Amino acid sequence: MSADGRCVRYYCTAGGGMHTFLAHELKRKLRATEVEHIPGRVFFRCSSDLQEVMQLKSAERLFLLLSRAPPISLPKNPAKASHVIQQSIVGDPDNWRHALFTWNLLQVEIRHAQARSLKRKRDVEEDKGEGGVSCAAGSERAHTHLGTPEGTHDAPAHRHQGGGNVPAQAAPTFRISCRCSGAVARHYSSQNLSRIIGVAVARELGWKPDLREPTLEVHVYLSDDHSVIGIPLIRHPLASRRYMKHTGLRSTVAWAMTSLCPMKEASVILDPMCGVGTILLEAAQECAHAVFIGMDTEEGQLQKAVENVDTAGQKSRILLVQSSCMAIPLPTASVDVVLCDVPFGRKFSCSVDMPAALPRILAEMERVLCEGGCLIILLSLQLSAQMKKLVNSNALTPQSQMTELDKDPQGKSRGLGMQGPEHSWGTDELALSSLQLQNIHRVSLGSSDGIIHTYTKIQTLKHTHANTHTHDETMSTS
Ligand SMILES: C[S@@+](CC[C@H](N)C(=O)[O-])C[C@H]1O[C@@H](n2cnc3c(N)ncnc32)[C@H](O)[C@@H]1O
């Protein structure tokens, strides 16, 4: 249960296209209720321990929700407008006091969890014979990280003061950070709005403004459609992974890719263009017993991947190999899941002309995947369009239908890209004949968008022949 034994209302910020992943994660991991989203924010209610909430992988930042209301309708008279803004944002001061009380309790939870984690670290270090010093440093870090003035977070008072059932608390120092868009933004700058709201909060609640080192940073978001007020629960973004020494692909997007594949125990998971290993590390956190292989042509990238894997304590589970994705050194049908972030040429240089190489790369991925295996690939908009054309004939073919057609004794293609006896197939077609599109997601990568395609490798006539052939060969050599 949460610190005060009740369900807490939170919201998380989420990158473009990530809200569906976050909503799914919230329901699956936290059994969250009232999961709703507006652009860039996902609201939810849950009674999970805060430590579990802080483990969310597809969210950017975590907030305690103070209020969520319809948009403010501003009067034409600017003199009245600031009164309206103050009335609608501050509203009932008890809501703010309740939020402060819950926030204080959650801070205590965070402190206790940090103390437990530091103790565990100290025990490990003492076991290694290098105790005291680093632990003392760690303890200092934890304290300054929260940056909370003495007594404010750890000890919410339990006596009552006027104003309903809200326990009395020391007045915190605070700062308002306002972001606005639409009509409000046309009349007021964010700074002006922050000041107007700050004045009202100080007057109505007796809280002390402090723009430099406030105890509470209250975030206010105003648009034509929404008014949202929240208080960040932790300063660092959930999206910044402590186990990543070198960053690559956005961790939330890497996690989203791994969430699309059915990872089973003992699965073999390959990233043939692994870079610094972000996707593999996100996958490794989710599946305790799978085996992971990362490949890259760049020695520098692989070196960073080695350091990341080491920092994350995943050395025994992730094998890194210098190799090209154009000739993957693995046997046919030996991999359960291929996860891949294809270079777009913006951040990473490509050793090849990617549009020209895509069919060949896919052919290799398709070859190493076992039947029923899964390919999850992140592409630029341009490569996504190319890929859609390449797999078009298979894209919407239900697997049941494909199985029926596979039984066709003639083995004619019937537009499914299967190999017929009289047909001479190009590499492109061979590559894609068994990849069946499952879904497509568009996600923001910051300066550009990426498209995640998910495919399942289905059985085709070609593979039935290939398997038979392999079997015969095995028989004849044994
Ligand atoms: C978009 S980056 C992958 C980033 C990775 N997901 C991460 O988070 O670090 C693409 C990677 O593909 C690698 N690469 C380029 N050409 C390659 C090839 N032919 N075979 C294997 N890797 C290649 C690059 O060195 C780069 O590290």
466 lines ligand 1 (CB under 6 A): no
Q: Is residue 239 part of a domain?
A: no
Please say if the pLDDT value at position 158 is more than 90.
no
Neighbours of 78 (CB within 10 A): 10
Please indicate, yes or no, whether residues 48 and 191 belong to a single structural domain of this protein.
yes
pLDDT tens-digit series, residues 205-250: 999 999 999 999 999 999 999 999 999 999 899 999 988 999 999 9
348, 353, 362, 365, best to mutate for ligand 1 pocket (most atoms within 8 Å of CB):
348
Q: Tell how far the Cα of 146 is from the centroid of ligand 1, in angstroms.
A: 37
The last residue of one of the domains, among 170, 200, 232, is 232
436 Cα to the center of ligand 1, angstroms: 24
Rounded Cα distance between 298 and 293, Å, is 15
Domain that holds residue 43: 8-232
Which atom belonging to ligand 1 lies closest to the Cα atom of 357? Answer: 19
* Residue at which a domain ends, from 200, 232, 264: 232
Residue 385 in tokens:
């369009």
351 C-beta closer than 6 A to ligand 1? yes
**Ligand 1 atom with the shortest distance to the CA of 344:** 1
Mean predicted lDDT score pLDDT of the chain: 80
pLDDT interval class at 65 (50, 70, 90): very high
Tell whether ligand 1 has an atom less than 6 A from the beta carbon of residue 343: yes
Q: Are 124 and 131 in contact (CB under 8 A)?
A: no
Structural domain includes residue 240: no
Ligand 1 geometric centre to CA of 274 (Å) = 6
The answer to whether residue 241 sits within a structural domain is: no
The type of residue at 376 is: I
CA separation for the pair 215, 66 (Å, rounded):
16
Do 424 and 366 reside in the same domain of the chain? yes
> Under a CB-based contact definition with an 8 Å cutoff, are residues 33 and 45 in contact?
yes
405 with 288, same domain: the answer is yes
* Minimum-distance ligand 1 atom for the alpha carbon of 325: 20
Number of domains in the chain: 2
Q: Determine the distance separating the centroid of ligand 1 and the alpha carbon of 426, expressed in angstroms.
A: 26
Residue 78 pLDDT class (50, 70, 90 cuts): confident
d(CA 472, CA 462): 15
Q: Are residues 38 and 151 in the same domain?
A: yes
pLDDT band at 117 (very low <50, low <70, confident <90, very high): confident
190 CA to middle of ligand 1, Å? 41
Say yes or no: 199 and 112 in one domain.
yes
Residue 108 has pLDDT above 50, yes or no: yes
461 assigned to some structural domain: yes
Asked whether 324 lines ligand 1 (CB < 6 A), one says yes
- 76 to 73, 80, 182, 183, 221: CA distances (angstroms): 10, 8, 15, 11, 21
Together in a domain, 226 and 258: no
Residue 144 has pLDDT above 80, yes or no: no
Residue with tokens 């670290």: 121
Residue 245 lies in a domain: no
* Judgement on whether residues 220 and 255 belong to the same structural domain of the protein: no
pLDDT tens, position by position, 345-385: 655 555 668 888 999 999 999 999 999 999 999 999 999 99
Confidence of residue 459 (pLDDT cuts 50, 70, 90): confident
Are 246 and 304 a contacting pair, CB within 8 Å? Answer: yes
Query: If you measure from the C-alpha of residue 351 to the centroid of ligand 1, how many angstroms do you get, rounded to a whole number?
Result: 9
Residue 246 located in a structural domain: no
Q: How confident is the model at residue 72 (pLDDT cuts 50, 70, 90)?
A: confident
Q: Are residues 257 and 144 in the same domain?
A: no
What's 379's domain CATH number? 3.40.50.150
For residue 274, the ligand 1 atom closest to its alpha carbon is 5
Predicted local distance difference test score (pLDDT) of residue 106: 94
Specify whether 187 is located in the same domain as 298. no
Indicate whether residue 297 lines ligand 1 (CB < 6 A).
yes
For atom 20 of ligand 1, which residue has the closest CA?
A: 324
Give the pLDDT band (50/70/90) at residue 462.
Answer: low
Give the domain-ending residue among 188, 204, 232.
232
pLDDT tens-digit map of 33-51: 999 999 999 999 999 999 9
Residue with the nearest Cα to atom 1 of ligand 1?
343
Q: How confident is the model at residue 129 (pLDDT cuts 50, 70, 90)?
A: low
299 alpha carbon – ligand 1 mean position (Å): 11
Q: What CATH number is associated with residue 160?
A: 3.30.2130.30
Q: Is 301 in the pocket of ligand 1 (CB under 6 A)?
A: yes
Query: Same domain, yes or no, for 158 and 255?
Result: no
Q: Are residues 274 and 344 in the same domain?
A: yes
CB of 303 shorter than 6 A to ligand 1: no
Nearest-atom number in ligand 1 for the CA of 326 is 19
Q: Whose CA is nearest to atom 13 of ligand 1?
A: 273
Would residue 401 count as lying in a domain? yes
Query: pLDDT tens, 180-206?
Result: 999 889 888 999 999 999 999 999 999
**Both tokens assigned to 298:** 């760049």
Together in a domain, 216 and 265:
no
| 375 assigned to some structural domain | yes
Q: What are the DSSP E strand ranges found in 277-402?
A: 291-296, 318-322, 335-341, 369-379
Tell me the helices (H) and strands (E) count for the chain, helix number first. 15, 15
Closest residue by Cα to atom 5, ligand 1, is: 275
pLDDT, position 445:
94
Cα 111 to ligand 1 centroid, rounded to whole Å: 40
